[in-house]
Amino acid sequence: MASITGGDKLAARLREIAERLKTGTEVRAGFLEGATYPDGTPVATVAAVQEWGAPSKGIPPRPFFRKVIKGEDAKTWGPTLNALLKQTDMDAARALDTLGQVIVGQIKQSIKDTSSPPNAPSTIARKGFNKPLIDTAVMLNSVDHEVK
């Protein structure tokens, strides 16, 4: 019968990797608690209204967030995290932080790219441009991430 020796180094390395993977278990990206407009309105509330619309207020849905989480962007997150774990020597917190930054960029780009349905002519005249999800840029600048 064959015997295997020298597994102590492998076991130690596996324990080290396991500890590094415990440094972060989740990344959240979007509109985090505490992000508000100057008047105190939560940015997440405004983002939800823009995402789903408010027909009674004449606001059509503009699904910028769903485009990211259900679209092609989301399909890249697993492979990106895998590559980041390799690059960071399995440091989950660092890898998830970088992935969070990537997702934030994708959400912001979706906000910038959303052009339909267009703003009402009166809104375009007031703003001076037709970017339906950008007015004061508070929502755009509030997209953030955190690692837990």
Q: What is the pLDDT of residues 8-62, one digit of tens each?
A: 776 776 677 666 666 667 899 999 999 999 999 999 999 999 999 999 999 999 9
Q: Is residue 45 part of a domain?
A: yes
Q: Is residue 11 part of a domain?
A: no
Our count of domains for the chain comes to: 1
Bridge partners of 145? 29
Number of Cβ within a 10 Å radius of residue 5: 5
pLDDT score for 11: 72
Q: Is residue 121 part of a domain?
A: yes
Q: Are 64 and 49 in contact (CB under 8 A)?
A: no
C-alpha dihedral over 34, 40, 43, 47, to 10 degrees?
150
Q: Is residue 10 part of a domain?
A: no
pLDDT digits (tens, 9 = 90+) for 49-95: 999 999 999 999 999 999 999 999 999 999 999 999 999 988 889 99
Q: Is residue 20 part of a domain?
A: no
Q: Which amino acid, residue 37? A: Y
Q: Is residue 17 part of a domain?
A: no
- Measured in residues, the chain has a length of 148
Phi/psi-derived region of residue 125, left when phi > 0, alpha when psi is between -120 and 50, beta in every other case: alpha
Q: Is residue 99 part of a domain?
A: yes
Q: Please give the residue range of the domain that contains residue 103.
A: 26-147
Question: What are the φ/ψ torsions at residue 83 (nearest 5 degrees)?
Answer: -65, -40
Helix then strand count (H, E) for the chain reads: 8, 2
Range 131-138 average pLDDT: 95
pLDDT score for 25: 79
Bridge partners of 28? 146
The model's pTM: 0.84
Q: Is residue 12 part of a domain?
A: no
pLDDT score for 23: 66
H/E stretch holding 67: helix 64-69
pLDDT at residue 4 greater than cutoff 90? no
Distance of alpha carbon 12 from alpha carbon 10, whole angstroms: 5
